[in-house]
Amino acid sequence: MTKTNNIVLASSSPYRKELLSRILTEFKTESPDIDETPFPDEEPVEHVARLAEQKALTVSLNHPQSVVIGSDQVCVLEGKIIGKPHTREKAIEQLHASSGKTVIFYTSLCVLESGKEGQDLSVVITEVKFRELTTEEIERYVDREQPLDCAGSFKAEGLGIALFESLASKDPTALIGLPLITLAESLRKLEVNFL
């Protein structure tokens, strides 16, 4: 049985680290230094799958005999990828654009054993339907929660949930950045004992 202290999360995201700590008590983290620029004409689902795999493979080189977890996420509105806003103004703009519309999140997961062939690669799709938002609601939300490092400009694990009309996903934590149901299944395949 694989030991849980031989698990490495290929990410510097505090959100992914917090999510992984919900099911594992011991793991390491390492930030993968990769270029995340989309390829020309690359579909969002292909983009996130490629990045999760690349992150896991890159970090696995530094961690022999480990299970490595890579993940990535993109937010898509009307066919266009929406990145992290980084500024208050951009967050307000993104939420105005999303008001009354459905935003699709693609969250990828790649789990592999260092030095072994093959990996478990999947993409979880989450559909978020925003309710009609007023300018005042958007501004108050952004000022209160400061979602400047979140794709789509909200934190679903916090007050951001109040911006939604509905949410559809087979794996709810995927929206926060790491699909734990899918991850638990991948870890069980590798006989990781986390219960």
pLDDT of residue 1: 41
| Active site positions, annotated | 72
For 156-175, the pLDDT digits (tens) are 999 999 999 999 999 999 99
Contact 121, 50 (CB under 8 A): no
pTM: 0.92
Q: 4-189 — its CATH code?
A: 3.90.950.10
pLDDT in tens, 129-151: 999 999 999 999 999 999 999 99
- Residue carrying the six token digits 């983009």: 47
Composition of the chain by helix, strand, coil, percent to 5: 35, 25, 40
Q: Where are the domains of the chain?
A: 4-189
pLDDT at 38 over 80: yes
- The residue among 97 and 33 whose pLDDT is bigger is 97
Tokens of 162: 């109040």
Amino acid residing at 94: Q
